[in-house]
Amino acid sequence: MRPSLGFDPRTTAASRPSLLFSLGAWGLDALFGLGALARTLWVAVASLTAPGRAARAVAFRVMLAQLYFTGYEAILVVSAVALFLGATIIVQIQLLAPAIGGELLGQILVTVVLREVAPLGTAFLVAGRSGTAIATELGGMKADQEVLALASIGIDPPRYLVLPRITAVIVATLALMAYFIVVGIAGGYSVGWLVAAPSFDALRAGVARSLVWSDVPLYLVKGIGLGLIIGWFCCHFGLSVQTSPTEVPPKASRGVMLTLLFCVIYNAIVTTLFYAIVGSPVPV
């Protein structure tokens, strides 16, 4: 019997897209995603010039609340992580090179903790703790139509929701990085003094010798950049939720994972440029 359709669905295999088609579709999705990501930051920055003194006061209070949560309430966990990471670094160095001198030990400690461990460690803690909270909170507000309700009564969502959180995360990241550096170096020095028993003068000389003035712009570039990535990405993916509450967990998870990935990439690029300009990380 002749089938009424132009093909027999029982025997005709479903066509699969070619590799070129899949790559093109992925590239377009990535391009549109980057465009939406850039727009989130642009409208947030553009809201700085919006009029309204009362709106600025409200946004400032939102920023202070976010700064309290992201910065002050994270001090305990940052203290524990920085202390034990600094101690672990010294223990590993002593296991690999037990005869290392106190001056070189101080140089390695500052180089590793100040320039690498503190920025990435702080970024991971802030993204895992506050970034997840930001993406989940904004995603829940978007799914419950709260963002639309704010816009309907004349409140600018980027000015009220995005910009204060990005600003607070940047400031908190800078402050926590400085605190991480102090605690990490202190913990590493304490363990190094107990394990290797170097002289205080040798450790202090190593720390002083490894510090250069270019560490200040490195600290600022890494702190501001990492804080911007965390606040920006997490706000964007939280607000990318549409209408279903079931979208919130996967969007928040994806936002945090991409945040961590871009933090690692950004840190590697800045570190490479820093050493290309300044030179050897450990002067000899």
Burial (Cβ within 10 Å: 0-12, 13-18, ≥19) of residue 9:
exposed
Q: What is the pLDDT of residues 109-119, one digit of tens each?
A: 778 888 889 99
Q: What is the pLDDT of residues 224-243, one digit of tens each?
A: 999 999 999 999 999 999 88
Q: What's the CA gap between 34 and 244, in Å, rounded?
A: 23
pLDDT at 25 over 60: yes
- pLDDT classification of 254: cutoffs 50, 70, 90: very high
The answer to whether 150 and 160 are in contact (CB under 8 A) is yes
Mean pLDDT of 178-201: 76
Q: How far is CA 3 from CA 6, 11, 15, 284, in A?
A: 7, 12, 20, 84
Q: What's the CA gap between 114 and 169, in Å, rounded?
A: 20
pLDDT at 140 over 80: yes
CA-CA-CA-CA torsion for 214, 216, 219, 222, nearest 10 degrees? -60
Q: What is the structure's pLDDT at 57?
A: 86
- pLDDT classification of 199: cutoffs 50, 70, 90: low
Q: What is the structure's pLDDT at 256?
A: 94
Query: The tokens of 238 are what?
Result: 């939280």
Query: The tokens of 275 are what?
Result: 């050493």
Q: What is the structure's pLDDT at 109?
A: 77
pLDDT at 180 over 90: yes
Q: What is the structure's pLDDT at 80?
A: 92
Q: What's the CA gap between 157 and 147, in Å, rounded?
A: 7
* Percentage with pLDDT > 90 across the chain: 42
Q: What's the CA gap between 189 and 200, in Å, rounded?
A: 9
Q: What is the structure's pLDDT at 269?
A: 95
Q: What's the CA gap between 249 and 229, in Å, rounded?
A: 20
pLDDT at 258 over 70: yes
Q: What is the structure's pLDDT at 50?
A: 76
